[in-house]
Structure 1
Amino acid sequence: MYLKEVCLENYSSIPKAIAKGATRIELCDYLSSGGTTVSKGVMHEAADYCAEKMIPLMAIIRPRSGNFVYNDSELKIMGYDLIEARNLGLDGVVFGCLTEDNWIDEDAMEQLLEEAYGLQVTFHMAFDAIPVEKQFEAINWLADRGVQRILTHGGNSHVPIEETLPHLKKLVDYAKDRILILPGGGITNENAADIQQYLSVTELHGSKLVGEL
């Protein structure tokens, strides 16, 4: 058995996903652009429903599509959204900040981690923009600061996940018990079991992880 985190754009899909076996929900608007923060209304209703069903609820905190290099105004927006997510009763949040040269924006991340106190934190697929040779160092940095998991495809999002599995396995083995590696991107109800068995992970992520909704 493994946890199935299903990313959804709207509230109406949540009951369907849970009925089909989703065991955690991530709210993520505009999935076609990599995802942005949903409205507070969606967070509110989703939090109430998921609490009733005892299903953990996460939300991506991302003010726009594009890269993961944020200015001061964007970081303020993310901070406000983190506060709202906590106040509305969400279990966790998903975000990631990078520098122009694709390393973790340490100042921005430490600021947002403080504002996310009390919430689970997933560092999202911004991780895949970090050069491969620095990804193990990034795992160390995030684990040392209490980040719970890293959502990663293991490579370029346009490459099928079956081709990135060997690198994902290296990340999983390196992270060990310090931080969870959460594979995502192209995982469906059809290939999930094989991917989970190959990687020996406890959680998987995908919009079609429990099939079409």
Structure 2
Amino acid sequence: MLTREFCAENMEFAPAAVAAGAARIELCDNLAVGGTTPSYGVIRAAVAHARETGTDVMCMVRPRGGSFEHTPAEAAMMRDDLIMAKSLGVTGVVFGCLRDGRLDTELTSELIRLAHEDTPEAPGRVAVTFHMAFDTLAPEDQLPAIDWLAEQGVERILTHGGAAGTPIADNLDRLRAYIERAAGRIIILPGGGITWENAEDVAAALGVAEVHGTKIVKVS
């Protein structure tokens, strides 16, 4: 079975997407800027619906649109938002952190720790997806980034395999290179330009079991 992750802006279409076959929701706000952290109430409602339907909720942790380079104040917001989402029972969190155009290993490590470790400040463990900030890395930095993220125990990398807006068909070779480098250590989750109409074909071409998108299922 192909796992379809539906990128949902708040809860407006999430129930319909689940009814249409989405097994996982990536929950965010402000899709016009690529997604930001949803509110407490939205997260709580999404988790409640997920528990009723046996689906998963991956919560975006991103304080604003724009670049993926975060100030210390924004990093503090991300820590707080991650702990809040974790406390509400999400399946996982989604974030991406860069510094000077490269992977921000310091902040990323800290957020991974908060997600994965069972601590008094953040009880339990949730999964981590490193989002499409990955696609803004220089090509020569992407394969080493896959290695590093895999070593940290990150569960997935969400990637279009190329610049935003490029056809997914043009990026299949690059996505195959990511999958080969991942070698089963971390899931490469293709997204961007994948719809309910082409999801099966893209998954078959790449040999993946999970796909992501805002139109990954047919929602009327």
TM-score by length of 1: 0.97
Q: 2: distance between equivalents of 1:87 and 1:207?
A: 26
Partner of 1:31: 31
Q: Distance in 2 between matches of 1:111 and 1:200?
A: 32
Matched ranges for 1:13-32 at <5 A:
13-32=13-32
Equivalent in the alignment of 1:185: 192
* 4+ aligned runs moved over 6 Å, structure 1: none
Structure 1 CA distance for aligned equivalents of residues 180 and 202 of structure 2: 15
- Residue 204 (structure 1) shift: 0.3
Give ranges in structure 1 of 5+ residues lacking alignment: none
Query: Would you say 1:57 and 2:57 are equivalent positions?
Result: yes
Instruction: Provide the secondary structure at the position in 1 that maps to 2:5.
Output: strand
Q: CA deviation at 1:211?
A: 2.1
Give 2:126's match in structure 1, choosing from 108, 112, 119.
119
SS of 2:192's partner is: coil
| Aligned-pair CA distance for 1:212 | 3.6
Matched letter for residue 165 of structure 1? L
In the aligned structure 1, how far is the partner of 2:109 from the partner of 2:178?
23
Residue 93 of structure 1: aligned partner: 93
Partner of 1:168: 175
Match of 2:105 in 1: 106
CA offset digits 1:19-65 (Å, max 9, x no partner): 10001011021112111011110000110110111101111100000
Alignment of 1:143-162 (within 5 A): 143-162=150-169
State how far apart, in whole Å, the 2-side matches of 1:14 and 1:136 are. 33
Match of 2:214 among 199, 204, 207: 207
What percent of counterpart residues are identical?
47
Offset at residue 12 of structure 1 (A): 2.9
Deviation at 1:112, TM superposition (A): 1.1
CA displacement 1:78-107 (0-9 Å, x = unmatched): 00111111110001000010012x211011
Cα distance in structure 2, aligned partners of 1:164 and 1:41: 37
1:114 CA drift (Å): 1.6
User: What's the offset of the Cα at 1:110?
Assistant: 1.1
Which amino acid in the other structure matches residue 61 of structure 1? V
TM-score (norm 2): 0.94
Deviation at 1:207, TM superposition (A): 0.6
Match of 2:79 in 1: 79
Counterpart contact for 2:194–2:215, Cα < 8 Å: yes
Q: Alpha carbon RMSD of aligned pairs, Å? A: 0.9
Q: Is the 8 A contact 2:20 2:219 kept in 1?
A: no
Structure 1 partner of 2:145: 138
Deviation at 1:150, TM superposition (A): 0.1
Partner of 2:204: 197
Unmatched segments (≥5 aa) in structure 2: 117-124
Q: Find the aligned partners of 1:176 and 1:209 in 2 and give their Cα distance.
A: 25
Q: AA paired with 1:167?
A: R
Find the residue that maps to 1:128 and give its secondary structure.
helix
In 2: Cα distance, 1:35 partner to 1:90 partner: 17
Give the residue type in structure 2 aligned to 1:110: S
